[in-house]
Structure 1
Amino acid sequence: MKTNHHSPLTASEIGTLWGFYQKNSLLTRVTGYFMEKVEDVDIREVLQLVKKEGQEALTMIEDICQSEQMAIPVGFTDEDVTPSAPRLFSDAFMLEYARQLEVASIAAAGAAIPNVTRSDITNFLQTALQLGMRHHDIAKETLMEKGLYSRPPVIPAPKQVDFVEKQNFMRGFLGEKRPLSAVEITHLFMNMQTNALGKALMMGFAQVAKDAKVTKYLVRGKEIAHKHVEVFRSHLAEEDLPGSRTWDDHVMTSSTESPFSDKLMTFHTTALVDIGIGNYGLSTAGSPRRDIGLTYARLMAEVAAMAEDGAELMIKNAWLEQPPPAPNRKALEKGRGG
């Protein structure tokens, strides 16, 4: 049965639009800079698709905001990018960056769809999901064609179904540890991939940041990412399984001229931290071996502290755009009563 009235935006829908605007405005600026520097024609085409996707998302959100008389977020503008700055990353890094951004976009859109009601918001998210999946596949295929794609570890396919019979299935400290499950391997490898890319990104950012406190924050992020890469690598190595490739040598220049504002680089780092926290939560749920689960809990606490410090740094510099809040009913009531 159709409803004729125009439903107001829910809190979930407002938050979704706000979050997607922030991330897509960042995405279009970063990929726009990459397109100024990329030399490989195939990689340029991937970046062009990703940038176009981000620009279309921004336009859709702006149209919805205008129809609802909702303030359009500031996000990131051309002032946050210096296209003439020297190249900071290799073409291969730009391609893997695009692929991993699409992974994050797929996850964000998929998580948001069940929490929205209006058809226009649902259509926006479904479009974002479909484009994210399509562009991820194109980026992955391009990486594979160029010999740059890190395949997850290969294990023998099971010939029969087994059921867990002993509680030592969850053991990870005392006694003999069982081999990693396919699901645990998947999470360890994925988290190693994201941290390896994040480490190289923050290495490049730290090299060009202008503010000393921002530089210190980015160096800290790089060191944490390196530590987490080694933790995940060690768990895989115990089973003689390979880890993913690293990207440290894809920071291409010794230039200290920044292509991005300190605001953009700090926000980008905190956004990566937020994604990491979400990934670690999912990984914990999929890792019943106790030592693996506790590893994620320990690492999650470390990145959560990093996220909090990043937010404080952005607040001090007046860079943090406040997410849309609910009305402060107590303050309104007090004002009327006074």
Structure 2
Amino acid sequence: MKAPKTSHKNELTSAEIANIWLSYQNDTLSICTIGAFLSHVEDKEIRSVLELVMKQARAHVKKLKSFFTEEQLPIPDGFSEEVDVHKEAPRLYTDDFYLFYIQNIGKIGLKTYSLALSNSARLDMCEYFTECLHESTKVLNKATEIMLSKGTFIRAPYIPAPKKVEYVQKERYLAGWFGNRRPLNAIEMSNIYFNLIQNQLGRTLIMGFSQVAKSQQVRDYMVRGRDIADKHVETFGSVLSKDLLPSASSWSILPTDSSVAPFSDKLMMFHVTALNSASIGHYGQSMGMSPRHDLGAHYVRLTAEVAKYANDGANIMIENGWMEQPPQGPDRDEIARTNK
């Protein structure tokens, strides 16, 4: 469907500017990351998924640039293959990790584009993010299909099929601290599984970053993030184990032993920043969907830990001049003070 012509020009809202600004950052990051993966991938099926993602990201950047130009907005710096990718670096991750990365980053993309679409008013913005959603779905499904065929897809725990519809009868349904605690419900299991898998992705990715970052400050930060992700994996796994449920299979594919950085420290720090943001969002949503009180306490504690880690990462980026500032509203107080 084509956007109808109007007799006046609708300016972009703050939400729409935020959507295209964040999309530009993420798509230029994707071009750099996937480009480095493509220089080493050997499996033909996995290469086909990476090439599809690269094709989509390049088309997105071209379209996003046109939005910025048409609206007379500065095009963000984002990331570039010339500055932020070191093409001579040896392989840091395996082909199986490339596929695992695409499949799970795809989940984050779906949530990001859904939010962008729901916050958009102008029809050209709605059409663009609708198309991005369709493309992300295609990539996610293709990656999942290949993982299933290779036997590398990590499944959530199985439970017996319910025999009847039931309603909650007692307040103890919400309890979770002491005594006769009820079993996890399927929604709680689903969220635990999702967060466990995302932390497995983060742990492997950051483990690789910790080996290759040039700055000692960044290497130390990555080691800390690796350990946090590992602890969160153990926390979610233990919740399942205490309810006598099998934990989601552990992702055991580790980075290579390379110590040569395929990416700039700036790109790796931004990558971790994006994962931190996604993690906080997932934990908040999971907490809202988990009535058992002990689960809420877990999510509060883990969110606070990620938030502290994210804040320290932001300070590192600011100190090094790596944090590109999003468009922001005018400082009315500053205008009032200086207009004398």
TM-score (norm 1): 0.97
Q: Does 2:135 match 1:131?
A: yes
Say whether residues 1:300 and 2:330 are aligned partners: no
Matched with 1:109 is 113
Unaligned runs of 5+ in 1: none
Instruction: Give a deviation string over 1:199-231, Cα, whole Å, max 9, x none.
Output: 010000000011011011101100000000000
Moved more, 30-39 or 322-331: 322-331
Tell me if structure 1 keeps the 8 A contact 2:174–2:291. yes
Deviation of residue 248 (structure 1)? Answer: 4.6
Superposed displacement of residue 2, structure 1: 6.5
2:156 matches 1:152:
yes
Confirm or deny: 8 A CA contact 2:207 2:226 kept in the other structure: yes
Match of 2:246, SS state, is: coil
- The one-letter amino acid of 2:55's match is K
Preserved CA contact (<8 Å) 2:155 2:249: no
* Shift, 1:239, TM fit: 2.4
SS in 2 for 1:250: coil
Alignment pair present for 1:322 and 2:332? no
Aligned position for 2:245:
241
Q: Name the residue aligned to 1:273.
A: 276
Shift of 1:282: 0.7
Picking from 19, 42, 47, the partner of 2:45 is 42
- Give the structure 1 partner of residue 195 of structure 2: 191
Cα pair 2:200 2:250 within 8 Å, conserved = yes
Aligned partner of 1:213 in structure 2 is: 217
Distance 1:12 1:21 in 2: 14
Q: Does the CA contact (< 8 Å) of 2:203 and 2:229 recur in 1? A: yes
Match of 1:53 in 2: 56
State the alpha-carbon separation in 2 of the partners of residues 54 and 288 from structure 1.
Answer: 39
Distance 1:2 1:53, change over 3 A: closer
Structure 1 residues 223-238: aligned runs within 5 Å:
223-238=227-242
Deviations 1:55-91 (A, max 9, x none): 1111111010011110011111111011220100110
C-alpha displacement of 1:330 = 2.9
Instruction: Provide the C-alpha distance between the structure 2 equivalents of 1:77 and 1:273, rounded to a whole number of angstroms.
Output: 22
Give the distance between the partners of 1:38 and 1:114, measured in 2 at CA: 36
Paired position in structure 1 for 2:96: 92
Contact preservation (8 Å) 2:110, 2:136: yes
For 1:106-139, what per-residue CA distance to the aligned partner results, in whole angstroms no more than 9, with x for missing partners?
0001112121111111111111111001110000
Does the 8 A contact of 2:187 with 2:290 survive in 1?
Answer: yes
| Superposition CA RMSD, Å | 1.2
Equivalent in the alignment of 2:19: 16
- Offset of residue 246 of structure 1: 3.2
Cα displacement (A) at 1:156: 1.3
Question: How far apart, in 2, do the equivalents of 1:312 and 1:248 lie?
Answer: 32
1:262 to 262, 265, 274: 265
Report what 1:118 is aligned to. Answer: 122
How far did residue 157 of structure 1 move? Answer: 1.4
**Match in the other structure for 1:313:** 316
Please tell me whether the aligned partners of residues 82 and 259 of structure 1 are also in contact (alpha carbons under 8 angstroms): yes
| Match of residue 67 from structure 1 | 70
Aligned residues: 336
Q: Is the 8 A contact 1:180 1:239 kept in 2?
A: yes
The separation in 2 between residues aligned to 1:83 and 1:97, in whole angstroms, is: 20
Q: Does 1:251 align with 2:255?
A: yes
Q: Which structure 2 residue ranges, 5 or more long, are not aligned?
A: none
